[in-house]
Structure 1
Amino acid sequence: MELMCPIDQHCSHQIAALLQPPSPLLVQEYFEQLISKRQLHGIKVKQNGEFGKGVFAETNFEEEQLILKDQMLVGIQHPSNKIDCLVCSYCFKFIGSIEQQIGRKLYLKTLGVGISPHNGKGCHDNSSDKDQDNHFVQNHHNSDDGASSSSNSTIPLPTMAVESLMNGELALPYSNKFPLPSVVSCPGGCEEAFYCSKSCAEADWESFHCLLCTGEKSEFHSRETLLKFIQHANETNDIFLLAAKAISFTILRYRKLKACHLREQEKTATSMLGTSDLSLLLEAWKPISIGHKRRWWDCIALPDDIDTSDEATFRRQIRELAFTSLQLLKEAIFDKECEPLFSLEIYGHIIGMFELNNLDLVVASSVEDYFLYVDDLPYPEKKEAEKITQPYLDALGDDYSICCQGTAFFPLQSCMNHSCCPNAKAFKRDEDRDGQATIIALRPICKGEEVTISYIDEDLSFEERQALLADYGFRCRCARCLDEEP
């Protein structure tokens, strides 16, 4: 028997309005304002006929030139990655110090905190971070060029040595070459979110975190239920955490918009004629409305270990998984005025938007940079430094190079269409040390030309590429595919 969400039934009108694709004019205005606010130059978002939106060059770009850096709308660090990397929960820069990063990771290991993949198997697989997308955001270090770590096996250190490093009682040689921002605690008092600055802490609190914080100063309805929601997401699919951020973001925008309208009403001594709760909710929802959406259980790729004869069962399980997550989230942060956001239809479309549009969030490891620096020192200095650093490197093993990993929705990057012979790619340079998406030209791009990226591994055969792109809901008709089509 199919699960029914009551909100889907009695809020059907509002849900339909929220899921109505925005008009081309509204889309154009939104991106013009976004590009202007971010002071970006040389690009424009345009409607692109049958392909919907597209990003176009407004100037000439040279090969390897930066086209844009795109700040995420919503993003998360994979929960298991928090063991390895202490980063700002808003901008995802590494924070603390090299000593704190190393000491914290080793300390968690001594407590028996395991390191596991960020998602599970089968119907719990987080396909928003598809393997074929991994080449989009490459780390700037070649995995073949590593520090002189012994092997996959690690050599444990005495607890006191680890604690002295984590507590700042021991300074490693040359660590001052890699200064990191000081750790700022969550204003709500939770022990999950940390920041690189007070401004990042405040921005995250005002945009998302005040509804999702498990600290004493948060606004949750039930801390126990919120913790259950988080645990469920961690054990099944962390894309639910991202969906929760999108809903919190919209609720908080709605509250700000309504407060602003009420202030205007008081100033003018008039009623809010023509300003309904739905119109305010639609305005609050606008940044989310821009992304292309399909229901998650309809668009998620069928895993390799699921037979096509079992597809209906698989998609039903995905829907049930989303329903369970939604019920926990609703109990934790429900807002009656924003009730349609807690419908299964809206929840499924939000997750489906991430499934179809998300990009891997990757920030290169400052710890890796540090050990590579020591490894490249002239011999006398290297030998002296390694008397202190080598035991820590041996204790870390190959984990020394793990970067910050997560997933995020980037509004401008998500407008970029696919090509199997793209002229741009997402690529982190040495100087790109936060969670923004960085788009680089692969070849010269002329003014007026569309900027395209590849959603998949373009080195695959025609048949393999088309099969993978079918998961995105289209058949590629780029110049290469037209040329290679049998």
Structure 2
Amino acid sequence: MDSICPIGLQCATEISALLSPPSPLQVQKYYHDLLTARGCSGIKVKQDGNFGKGLYADMDFKEGELVLKDPMLVGAQHPLNKIDCLVCSFCFCFIGSIELQIGRRLYMQQLRANESHGCEVGSSSKHCHEMDSSDEEESTQQCTSGSSKTKVPLPEGIVESLMNGQLVLPFSEKFSLPPAVPCPGGCGEAYYCSMSCAEADWGSSHSLLCTGESSDSARREALLKFIKHANETNDIFLLAAKAISSTMLMYRKLKAVSLEEQMKHNTSCVSNHCNLSILLEAWKPISMGHKRRWWDCIALPDDVDSSDEASFRLQIKMLAFESLQLLKTAIFDKECEPCILTDVDFVMYSLCGFPVTLS
């Protein structure tokens, strides 16, 4: 399929530079510098022609010794997993309390059951009791107020007591968790284990993706449309949005430092034009991990015949294009245009298919 949008022609040079694979020497230097910055010794990254990059030890380690602890490049909790547990939106450790975790899970399961079966929150559903025996077991697993034949209903108010801290479970003090810190932007979706994680996430991507009241109303509406589309189609787009946002924010930070240095030396500069060298530097972590476009490497589903593979991959490609349009409306930055192009032949959503190593 040809380019969908002419913007790709306007930024052809930038796109070509961004998509050019780094040389073996550049890869070697990148990971050497990364390991050095992390204070790691005794390990190195090597390239294997058949298997790609791998982590190798060049010294003996003792049993139980920490070999490497490295922050992830980007990460996101699966929407369905949010029903099961409340974790820090940056480092993904459990937060809150044992009681909050259990109460929240019961509450979320109850909401999902109500949406699926028409149950009323906090009360037994006539629908659940009228189901035949073949469906009853499955129903009681999803409706917390299901049939008393197979499941004893929770006392009224127990879930609320768990969530608000009024009910303390035995020995829960032995499993203390860090308190949940809400998103500084007030979105109500992101929570953290500490202010340091909240600030780190805000600076790396969330400041562009927050749907809180502090965000511009038009941008917030566009983001909500993007999130809704991702949840209804493929939530991998949420992860791709984080990668794009992190690249944009890193570009801004690096450019601000560059402008400051130029001002110190009285060097004239234009601040509203894209600096390709800085954009390439911000893009570098992505370029080191990117392998193939998502729609080219995604596995063919069992229910799709091999004769329909080309059509399937085209549909996936168009799905990514639709998602990108929504994201572009929300966070578009002219200087970072090559990273969020409407040209689907480039679209950075291709990163959805790459494995991240030491980035």
Distance 1:42 1:352 in 2: 33
Q: 1:287 to 1:220 in 2, by over 3 A?
A: farther
**Could you tell me which residue of structure 2 aligns to residue 33 of structure 1?**
33
2:123 maps to which residue? none
Which residue, 178, 181, 204 being the options, matches 1:181? 178
**1:306 and 2:304 are equivalent in the alignment:** yes
Alignment of 1:437-452 (within 5 A): none
Structure 1 residue 42 and structure 2 residue 39: aligned? Answer: no
C-alpha contact 2:8 2:343 (8 A) present in aligned 1:
yes
Cα 1:304–1:312 shift into 2, 3 Å: same
CA contact (8 A) 1:183 1:196 kept: yes
Q: 1:191 aligns with which of 173, 188, 191?
A: 188
| Structure 1 or 2: more strand by fraction | 1
CA contact (8 A) 1:221 1:333 kept: no
Higher mean C-alpha deviation, range 194-203 or range 19-28: 19-28
Q: Is the 8 Å Cα contact of residues 295 and 313 (structure 2) preserved in structure 1?
A: yes
Shift of 1:63: 7.4
Tell whether the 8 Å contact from 2:230 to 2:323 is kept in structure 1 after alignment: yes
1:209 is matched with 206
Instruction: Rate the CA distance shift 1:96–1:272 in 2: closer, same or farther, 3 A.
Output: same
Q: In 1, distance between residues paired with 2:337 and 2:196?
A: 30
Once residues 38 and 322 of structure 2 are traced to their aligned partners in structure 1, the CA distance between those partners, rounded to angstroms, is 38
Q: Which residue of structure 2 lines up, in the alignment, with residue 232 of structure 1?
A: 229
Q: What SS does the corresponding residue of 1:74 show, helix, strand or coil? A: coil
The aligned runs of 1:39-188 (5 Å cut-off) are 39-48=39-48, 52-61=52-61, 67-112=67-112, 154-188=151-185
Q: Quick one: which amino acid aligns to residue 196 of structure 2?
A: S
Tell me the amino acid that sits aligned with residue 336 of structure 2. Answer: C
The AA in structure 2 aligned to 1:177 is: K
1:229, 1:75 → 2: CA distance?
Answer: 18
1:102 partner letter:
I
2:262 corresponding residue in structure 1: 265
Q: CA shift at 1:10, angstroms?
A: 1.9
CA contact (8 A) 2:241 2:327 kept: yes
Question: 5+ unaligned residues in a row in structure 1: which ranges?
Answer: 117-152, 358-408, 415-486
**Partners of 2:113 and 2:201 in 1: CA distance:** 27
Number of residue-to-residue matches in the alignment: 324
SS at match of 2:76: strand
- Residue equivalent to 1:253: 250
Return the offset for 1:219: 6.2
Letter in 2 for 1:201: A
Match for 2:292: what amino acid? R
The 3-state SS of whatever aligns with 1:55 is strand
The separation in 2 between residues aligned to 1:102 and 1:283, in whole angstroms, is 44
Contact 1:247–1:341 (CA under 8 A) maintained in structure 2 = yes
Superposed displacement of residue 248, structure 1: 0.2
Preserved CA contact (<8 Å) 1:213 1:220: no
What SS is found at the alignment partner of 1:316?
helix
Q: 2:283 is aligned with what amino acid?
A: W
Conservation of the 8 A alpha-carbon contact between 2:87 and 2:95: yes
Counterparts in 2 of 1:199 and 1:65: CA distance versus 1, 3 Å: closer
Cα distance in 2 for partners of 1:192, 1:70 equals 25
Amino acid aligned to 1:19? L
CA distance in 2 between counterparts of 1:21 and 1:249 reads 20
Partner of residue 121, structure 1: none
CA distance in 1, matches of 2:216, 2:38: 30
Counterparts in 2 of 1:10 and 1:69: CA distance versus 1, 3 Å:
same
In 2, the alpha carbon distance for the partners of 1:93 and 1:56 equals 27
For 1:211 and 1:203, locate their aligned partners in 2 and report how far apart those are by CA, in whole Å.
Answer: 13
The yes-or-no answer on 1:318 pairing with 2:324 is no
Paired amino acid for 2:298: I
Q: What TM-score do the two structures reach when normalised by structure 1?
A: 0.62
The structure-2 alpha-carbon separation of the partners of 1:260 and 1:3, relative to structure 1 and needing over 3 Å to count, comes to closer
Residue 108 of structure 1: how far off its partner (Å): 2.5
TM superposition shift of 1:154: 4.8
- Rounded to whole Å, the distance in 1 between the matches of 2:225 and 2:274 is 34
Q: From the superposition, tell whether residues 312 and 201 of structure 1 become closer, same or farther in structure 2 (CA, over 3 Å).
A: same
Q: Matches of 1:75 and 1:241 in 2, distance apart?
A: 9
Q: Is the 8 A contact 2:89 2:190 kept in 1?
A: yes
Larger relative contact order (CA 8 Å, sep ≥ 6): 1
The alignment partner of 2:337 has SS state of helix
C-alpha deviation, 1:293, in angstroms: 2.0
Shift of 1:348: 6.1
Shift, 1:272, TM fit: 4.2
Q: Deviations over 1:132-151 (max 9, x none)?
A: xxxxxxxxxxxxxxxxxxxx
Tell me if structure 2 keeps the 8 A contact 1:250–1:284.
yes
Deviates more, 1:62-71 or 1:290-299: 62-71
Q: Which residue of 1 aligns with 2:141?
A: none
Q: Distance in 1 between matches of 2:151 and 2:6?
A: 53
Matched, 1:340 2:338: yes
Quote the offset at 1:43 in angstroms: 0.9
Q: How big is the shift at 1:115?
A: 9.8
Aligned residues of 1:294 and 1:353 also touching (Cα < 8 A): yes
In 2, are the aligned partners of 1:300 and 1:352 still within 8 Å (CA)?
A: no
1:306-346 deviation line (CA, Å, top 9, x unaligned): 11111111011001100100000001110111001112567
Query: Counterparts of 1:294 and 1:259 in 2: how far apart (Å)?
Result: 32
Distance in 2 between the 1:46 and 1:112 partners? 46
Distance 1:7-1:156 versus aligned 2 partners, 3 A rule = farther
Change (3 A) 1:47 1:220: farther
Q: Contact 2:90 / 2:192 at 8 angstroms: preserved in 1?
A: yes
Instruction: Give the direction of change, closer, same or farther, for the CA distance of 1:104–1:50 in structure 2 (3 Å limit).
Output: closer
Contact 2:61 2:67 in 1 (8 A): yes
Give the superposition deviation at 1:162: 1.2
1:262-312 CA-partner distances (Å, limit 9, x unpaired): 111221111249x96111111111111111321111111111111111111
